[in-house]
Amino acid sequence: MKVMNTMMTGALVCAIAGCQHARQEETIQPLVLGYGEDAFTVGELLYETDFSDADDWVLQISENPNSDAEAVVQLEDGMMDLYMPALGCTAWLDEEFEGPIAIVYQVRCPLETIDGEDIIATDINNFWNCSDPRDSDAVLDATDTHYNGGFVSYHEMHGYYASTGGGLNTTTRMRRYPRWIDGKDVPHLSLNSQDGNPEHLITPGKWHTIQLVACDGLVQYIQDGSVVYEIKYGDKIMSEDRPDGKPVQSEAVYTREAYPAYTEGYFGFRLVRTHHQYRNLKIYQLDPR
C-alpha cells in the first residue's frame, strides 16, 4: 500500500492481515437502467479484487493539526477497511481505465468506536475517470499543494464525483470537475436535487451497492439499484459558480462543447471523518449500442 503525503499528528496504523475470502451474501454486477437502456450493454469484466494486495492502492490522507486521532487501514477478509476519525482520505486504485466503463462495489459505515473515538456515518464519496490536466497520472502523486487528502486539493482535477450522505449524512450530489482553474472558482456541472432524500442517504451498518457509469458523455450515479443522477448530452443541468465565495446555481445545457466527456482516468474512494468498509469491487467494460 502506498500511503502518500500522510500528514497528521497521530501515527498511521496500517494493519495488512492475511486476506481470506469474506462470506459475501450476493454477487453484484452492473445494472442497465435509465439512459443506459438505450446506450450500452455490459461487456467484459476488466478488473476485480478481494483487496488482498495492498500495492494496488494509493492512499492520500490529510492533515488535521487539531486532533491526535489515528487513521487505521486494514485489508483483510475480502475487504478494505478505512477508519478516518478526524481525517480526509482518498484511496486511489493504482490502475487507469479508458473507454466506457461501469464501476460497482459495496460499502458500509459501521458505527463502532476505536480507542474511544466516536464516529458518524457520512461521506460515501467517489471519484472516477479522473486525471490531472497537466499530467494524467499526477492524481496518484501527493505534494504539499496537490492531492494531499484535503478535499479542496482535488478541485483542479478533471473527472466525475458523486457523494451519498455528505455533510454529516444530509446531502447526495454529483459533479463534474474541475471546480477551480488556476486557484479560482469556475462554473461546473453540479447536481444536488436529491439532497435530504432519505432514500439516498446512508443507513449505518447496511451494505450499500454503488454503481458509477461513464459512457462517452453519459454519466450515471446509481445507489442500491436506483438511479440517483444521470446526464446525457442535450439535457438541461445545473451549473454552479462562486463569484463572491457563495454558491450560485444557474440552468445550463449539457453539451459536448461545454462539457467534453472524460473517457479515461483513475477511480478512488473518498471519505472524511468516518469509517467505511469496502468489498466486491468490480469494473466492467460497457459496449455502446
246-253 contact pairs (CB < 8 A, 24+)? 247/190, 249/190, 250/187, 252/187, 252/189
Residue 233 sits at φ, ψ, to 5 deg, of -60, 135
pLDDT of residue 69: 80
Could you tell me the CA-to-CA distances from 32 to 36, 211, 234, 243 in Å, in that order?
Answer: 5, 10, 20, 38
Cis amide linkage into residue 260, ω under 30° from 0: no
Of the two residues 136 and 284, the one the predictor is more confident about is 284
pLDDT of residue 15: 55
Number of domain units in the chain: 1
pLDDT of residue 115: 64
Residues 6 or more apart whose Cβ sits within 8 Å of residue 26:
none
Do strands 57-61 and 2-4 pair parallel, antiparallel, or not at all (unpaired)? parallel
pLDDT of residue 244: 85
Which residue in 212, 164, 220 sits closest to 192, CA to CA?
Answer: 164
Q: Tell me, yes or no, whether 218 lies in a domain.
A: yes
Which residue in 82, 141, 88 sits closest to 266, CA to CA?
Answer: 141
pLDDT band of 67, cuts 50, 70, 90:
confident
The position carrying cell 461545454 is 258
pLDDT of residue 4: 66
Q: Tell me, yes or no, whether 7 lies in a domain.
A: no
pLDDT of residue 136: 83
Could you report the per-residue pLDDT of 8-65, keeping only the tens digit for each? 434 455 554 444 444 445 678 999 999 999 999 999 999 999 999 999 999 999 977 7
Q: Tell me, yes or no, whether 19 lies in a domain.
A: no
Q: Tell me, yes or no, whether 252 lies in a domain.
A: yes
What is the C-alpha separation between 101 and 48, in angstroms, rounded? 13
Q: Tell me, yes or no, whether 206 lies in a domain.
A: yes
What's the burial of 75, exposed, middle or buried (CB within 10 Å: 0-12/13-18/19+)? Answer: buried
**For residue 46, is it left (φ>0), alpha (ψ between -120 and 50) or beta?**
alpha
Could you report the per-residue pLDDT of 99-151, keeping only the tens digit for each? 999 999 999 999 876 666 778 999 999 999 999 998 888 999 877 678 999 99
Question: The C-alpha cell of 193 is what?
Answer: 436535487
Do strands 72-76 and 13-16 pair parallel, antiparallel, or not at all (unpaired)? parallel
Question: The C-alpha cell of 201 is what?
Answer: 442517504
Total-model pTM: 0.93
Residues 6 or more apart whose Cβ sits within 8 Å of residue 41:
32, 286, 287, 289
What is the C-alpha separation between 129 and 280, in angstroms, rounded? 19
pLDDT of residue 86: 81
Mean pLDDT of the chain: 90
147, 60 in Cβ contact below 8 A? yes
Q: Tell me, yes or no, whether 61 lies in a domain.
A: no
Tell me what the mean pLDDT of segment 212-227 comes to.
98
Q: Tell me, yes or no, whether 177 lies in a domain.
A: yes
* Domain, as residue range, for 159: 27-47+94-136+144-288
Q: Tell me, yes or no, whether 60 lies in a domain.
A: no
Of the two residues 281 and 246, the one the predictor is more confident about is 281
What is the C-alpha separation between 210 and 107, in angstroms, rounded? 8
pLDDT of residue 111: 84
The CATH number for 104's domain is 2.60.120.200
Could you report the per-residue pLDDT of 78-96, keeping only the tens digit for each? 999 999 988 899 999 999 9
